[in-house]
Structure 1
């Protein structure tokens, strides 16, 4: 989605306005609907899933220990 006040959009730089969420398994997902390229360099904001409001089941200590 093109933002009117986004300099990257104006410059036609490949980027995403969503936040990249990185799970403990290193799987990634984006908060922007329609984002198909989950490369870190396309996203200005990258967070661990445990930092997302409400948390994430894969960030719970019990799950991480079972997978280790």
Structure 2
């Protein structure tokens, strides 16, 4: 028995990757190789960059880390 993505089965435009939103306003990226449309509507999982395993180096995240350390 194989399971098919409901969006795929419905022929809906979507991405299986996770959309990562950088809080410094610099850019948005997707974990799926080859994804070029970073619209929120195409991505079910969306996270802020500070939730990325290993952290992020954007300015907002670095500022939060400094505030937490002080």
Give the TM-score category using the shorter length.
0.7 to 0.9
Task: State the TM-score, normalizing by the size of structure 2.
Answer: 0.77
| Larger strand share, 1 or 2 | 1
Regions of 4+ moved over 3 Å: none
Displacement, 1:32?
Answer: 0.2
Give the gaps of 5 or more residues in structure 2: 65-70
> Over residues 11-40 of structure 1, what are the superposed CA-to-partner deviations in whole Å (9 max), with x where a residue is unaligned?
110000000000123310000001110000
SS of residue in 2 equivalent to 1:44: coil
* Alignment RMSD (CA, Å): 1.7
Aligned residues: 60
Task: State the TM-score, normalizing by the size of structure 1.
Answer: 0.79
